[in-house]
Structure 1
């Protein structure tokens, strides 16, 4: 089995190259973004939520209140003003930031048919490497756009230099002191704009790289699945505790529902898919519990399935984004802890004495 240290060493030497992360694709997005006037950005793609629609509407459920909202069209939910643009403190929409929504929507459009390919597979191992490469970028961007990631990015930009150097010493062992100084010299003066740069950098390495090297398979379910507003779910798995969030590279399992009866499961190198590619009713129930717990605030299901409101999870601890000034004042030790462990929102199970077992135990058998 590949250890966590070996995996991080492998990823440190690997840079994931893809045209969607390249200069030419970015330049085209910037050109197209100049004409963008819309401010409502969907942080869960509409084409994805359409897979749970009945009569062109999806059922939203507020997790912490267990409140079922009226069915709505996908374009009416999972959106926020200027979510990807990260406007500067002046409130202006700087041109280099405005293109990001266009860039992500272009990738989503191209990935829609990739998700269709997985659905047509029905169930079984995913062996198409080009499909895996495309979806590794798409899913990687879904992971790195969270508010918790932005908090880490702001600390990497504005936080204490000592904490930043220690972070990169652990995460990028090949980086020399000269490389580190050069990186600091190249940092964008606008922290919000630099956060976008770091988001794409994280996708190149380690997130997309770590997803691509996993063992992918599509599972069918006997009962319906839900999804949520943070649908790429990282399952740390044993021997980690339920309070642990260990990030994309080290999580035992990464989950992504493809629709009401299909689930993409990506296992860490060294683990194998055991026992067939169908989840029974109890296994599916455990996945739905995981999806509800992973939600920042909202779960989505087909109207009439009536699943999410009956699943109770602890309240989410809110992620507070520090201002540029606050980031600069962080204690180096506190800043390093956030950089290392704040890349994902805290587990809802932290401090809960009777947290559920990790879902689908057969996935963690060597």
Structure 2
């Protein structure tokens, strides 16, 4: 899809959302993973997927329409939001545009042979899709709630000074008191004008939209490759997984920028991988059974709550991971950045999957 074509579709989103708001057709069950994506793990268009809770192993067969979603998850509504200028369903409708783009582009990837992905337009479109998927789920939403809760406990003037000092330092500017004071004041005014609402849920949705746009360019600049797997893959309610690599602490979530590889299962036997620019995708573009098991374990460990598999597979029952830890209350900015993984209390977390990937 060209930029002009995508822009034209986005321009119609607000009108569509406004018309939907008070109609019986207004979507209430909002998918954190698209229906068309979940259907890639069903036996036929009308089939069901097996949904399995990671922490207790309970599973059931569910149709794609009622799996991987939460009621009103993207609904923008608060006393201080004017629903005539910001329709409550505008984000849900916009995500539908990205979901249609995902369906078309993933179909094209699946029709090609495994190997490097170099088509510029394909990467531009799928970068938007993947960035959206990374930002739309419950994991990211919880991270934003934690950030907002932390910020609400800080003195706004002192907090803005800390943020100003960090930004000035990162950009190589002067750190004298006057510059910090002026920059902090500018940040406070910008935040005041830019916030969509005083309520945390609309703020978290706003941060979601801002985050996905920041991820697109870093994604495009990575080296992409599609791998075929010898045994089936499963997926999850948070299917884009960031892997730091063999030298990182597996007990905390790696940062997106420095992570060796991001992975995204695109169907039962295909995995899309995004490597750092200085890491070349390694032949063969086939993952054997042991490597596929490692990838599936990574997907299960990164899931927020559930994994999804084809009804003929029995993958989830073969993989045991610790419960998802509750992040301790953040007292510093560093606390916010060190998100615990399921391996947080493990003395020996498993090594990063597919060891041959990390050769430079």
Which TM class, normalised by the smaller chain length? 0.7 to 0.9
Cα deviation digits, residues 257-287 of structure 1 (max 9, x gap) = 0111110010012111123211011100100
Kindly indicate whether the alpha-carbon contact (under 8 Å) linking 1:163 and 1:336 is maintained by their aligned counterparts in 2. Answer: no
Cα deviation digits, residues 225-280 of structure 1 (max 9, x gap) = 11111000011112111112123222111000011111001001211112321101
Relative distance call for 1:47 and 1:170 in structure 2 (3 A) is farther
Kindly indicate whether the alpha-carbon contact (under 8 Å) linking 1:227 and 1:291 is maintained by their aligned counterparts in 2. Answer: yes
Deviation, 1:220, is 0.5
Q: Which has the higher contact order (CA 8 A, sep 6+)?
A: 1
Kindly indicate whether the alpha-carbon contact (under 8 Å) linking 2:49 and 2:63 is maintained by their aligned counterparts in 1. Answer: yes
Alignment partner of 1:117 is 2:117: no
Alignment partner of 1:275 is 2:283: yes
Kindly indicate whether the alpha-carbon contact (under 8 Å) linking 2:301 and 2:321 is maintained by their aligned counterparts in 1. Answer: yes
**Superposition map of 1:174-185 within 5 A:** 174=171, 177=184, 179-185=186-192
Between Structure 1 and Structure 2, how many residues are aligned?
333
Match of 1:213 in 2: 221
In structure 2, what is the Cα distance between the partners aligned to 1:80 and 1:156?
A: 25
In structure 2, what is the Cα distance between the partners aligned to 1:20 and 1:183?
A: 31
Alignment partner of 1:48 is 2:48: no
In structure 2, what is the Cα distance between the partners aligned to 1:193 and 1:131?
A: 31
Aligned partner of 1:358 among 342, 352, 356: 352
**Superposition map of 1:52-201 within 5 A:** 52-55=41-44, 56-69=47-60, 71-88=61-78, 95-145=86-136, 146-152=140-146, 154-155=148-149, 158=152, 160=154, 161=156, 162-163=158-159, 166-167=162-163, 170=166, 173-174=170-171, 177=184, 179-188=186-195, 189-191=197-199, 192-201=201-210
Match of 1:293 in 2: 301
Query: More displaced, 270-279 or 180-189?
Result: 180-189
Match of 1:28 in 2: 12
Match of 2:331 in 1: 334
Deviation, 1:164, is 5.2
* TM-score, length basis structure 2: 0.83
Cα deviation digits, residues 91-110 of structure 1 (max 9, x gap) = 99884442110010111112
Rg larger in structure: 2
Deviation, 1:288, is 0.6
Match of 2:23 in 1: none
In structure 1, the gaps of 5 or more residues are: 1-16, 321-329
Alignment partner of 1:303 is 2:311: yes
RMSD: 2.9
Cα deviation digits, residues 51-92 of structure 1 (max 9, x gap) = 0101411111111111221x2211111111111125437999
